[in-house]
Amino acid sequence: MSLPIEPYLSLPNNECAERILAAKATLGKQLVILGHHYQRQEVFQYADFTGDSLKLSRQAAQSEAHYIVFCGVHFMAEVADILSRDEQIAILPDVTAGCSMADMANLSNVTRVWRELAELLEVETQITPVTYINSAANLKAFCGEHGGIVCTSSNARKVLEWSFAQRDKVLFFPDQHLGRNTGYRMGIPLDQMVLWDFSKPMGGLTVQQIQQAKIILWSGFCGVHQVFQPQDVDNFRKQYPNGQVIAHPECSFEVCQKSDAVGSTEFIIKTVQDSPPGTRWLVGTELNLVQRLARDMLPDHKFVHYMSPYECMCSTMYRIDPQHLCWTLENLVAGHIVNAIRVAEREKVLAKQALQAMLAIV
């Protein structure tokens, strides 16, 4: 019987630290801990690998570890399960750590939209379904089943180029902003990227709009990245005329248009790291990453500012805390597996097809 979580919830962080390190030492190479960039520092410090979700899953799959403990959110642990070897087990320390954007597109709604589009178009030959990696496994499986593909924030352009080589149109979900910002930088006019409101019949669009669209965007978004506003960029430039602005493509179109550079979290980190001393940056992405980057860059006399005057972190990611990590690891030491994330076999096969389609072109 697994150890109950309740006694762990009141443990102070310093005691958790001692017990986490002891459990890691006991488990040795059987264990790998993955830490996403948006994870709080109190947990991030224990990670064996750090980075974006896809990079982490691939590193874990190549490791010797039997247990993959993902300090991230649910869809990330699903990807780890899909890409890992059969004998590996993906674990999420707190199963309530989800993603509000991923939840904005579910299989029922996507299937209904596909069915409605089929009333106007030959969907299997005219539309490539593309899902952002920030989505449930069954949506990745949907893409695999219908000749589609997965993308990340770093490879979205290459994925869209591949998609248009297959079919004339793209159905892009769940994040409208990544789709719009990427499409615009590819030269697709805004009026050829329409927003499908899945709460309305035919997405609230006319037949003509659907037929003329190159990209049909799902009306999903990341609440963390919507905190950033165009005036935040304007205010920074007034105060620091020589400063640089860099934003994640989940930010709004207006913020990205005002930015000097737009890219994934890995791109943001590398760009700031490679900049010369004395550079000042305004960064539009999750708070934990920005604070960590600001601290790491200070010795090199590079100055990093968080884009919004209002602090906003990924609240669901924040549910992974030292207490849940300690509980997870001590259960493994005791021979109990808690919160294993297992994708159903058929979904896993189809989702892997969509992921492998992506990996083959990037």
Q: How far apart are CA 58 and CA 341, in angstroms?
A: 16
pLDDT of residue 267: 97
pLDDT surpasses 90 at 239: yes
User: CA dist 20 to 47, 321, 329, Å?
Assistant: 11, 12, 7
* DSSP one-letter string for 265-334: HHHHHHHHHHSPTT-EEEEES-HHHHHHHHHHHGGGT-EEEES-SS----TTGGG--HHHHHHHHHHHHT
Burial of 41 (0-12, 13-18, 19+ CB in 10 A): exposed
Cβ–Cβ under 8 Å, residues 228 and 243 = no
- Over residues 222-231, the pLDDT tens digits come to 999 999 999 9
| Strands across the sheet containing 49-51 | 49-51, 31-36, 67-71, 89-91
CA distance 53 to 33: 13
Q: Which amino acid is at 186?
A: M
Distance CA 206, CA 209 (A): 5
Global pTM? 0.95
- pLDDT score recorded for residue 182: 98
Contact 321, 42 (CB under 8 A): yes
Tracing tokens 């801990």 back to the chain, one arrives at 33
Predicted confidence band at 83 (pLDDT cuts at 50, 70, 90)? very high
> Which pLDDT band holds residue 130 (cuts at 50, 70, 90)?
very high
Reduce the DSSP state of residue 172 to 3 states and report it: strand
| SS3 readout for 121-134 | CCHHHHEEEEEECC
Could you read off the pLDDT of 152-189 as tens digits, one per residue?
A: 999 999 999 999 999 999 999 999 999 999 999 999 99
Give, to the nearest 10 degrees, the angle between helix 137-145 and helix 345-359.
70
227-to-152, 223, 286 alpha-carbon distances in Å: 21, 7, 10
Q: For the packed helices 107-117 and 137-145, what is the interaxial angle rounded to 10 degrees?
A: 30
State residue 257's pLDDT score. 98
Per-residue pLDDT tens over the stretch 64-76: 999 999 999 999 9
Query: Residue 311 pLDDT more than 90?
Result: no
What's the rounded mean pLDDT across residues 275-286? 97
| Contact criterion met (CB below 8 Å) for 101 and 220 | yes
Residue 313 banded pLDDT, cuts 50, 70, 90: confident
Q: What is the pLDDT of residue 171?
A: 98
Q: Is the pLDDT of residue 117 over 90?
A: yes
What's the pLDDT at 198? 85
pLDDT score of 316 more than 90: no
- Walk me through the domains of the chain, giving residue ranges and CATH numbers: 6-98+316-344 (3.40.50.10800), 102-222 (3.40.50.10800), 230-306 (3.40.50.10800)
The structure tokens listed for 303 are 């100055």
Q: Where are the alpha helices (DSSP H) in the chain?
A: 13-27, 41-44, 53-62, 74-83, 100-103, 107-117, 123-126, 137-145, 156-166, 176-185, 207-212, 230-239, 253-258, 265-274, 287-297, 322-333, 345-359
Question: How far apart (Å, rounded) are the C-alpha atoms in residues 43 and 322?
Answer: 6
Sequence-separated (6 or more) residues with CB below 8 Å from residue 242:
280
Q: What is the pLDDT of residues 95-108, one digit of tens each?
A: 999 999 999 999 99
Supply angle C-alpha 162, 171, 79, rounded to 5: 75
At residue 49, does pLDDT exceed 90?
Answer: yes
Please state, rounded to an integer, the average pLDDT across all residues of the chain.
Answer: 97
Type of residue found at 131: T
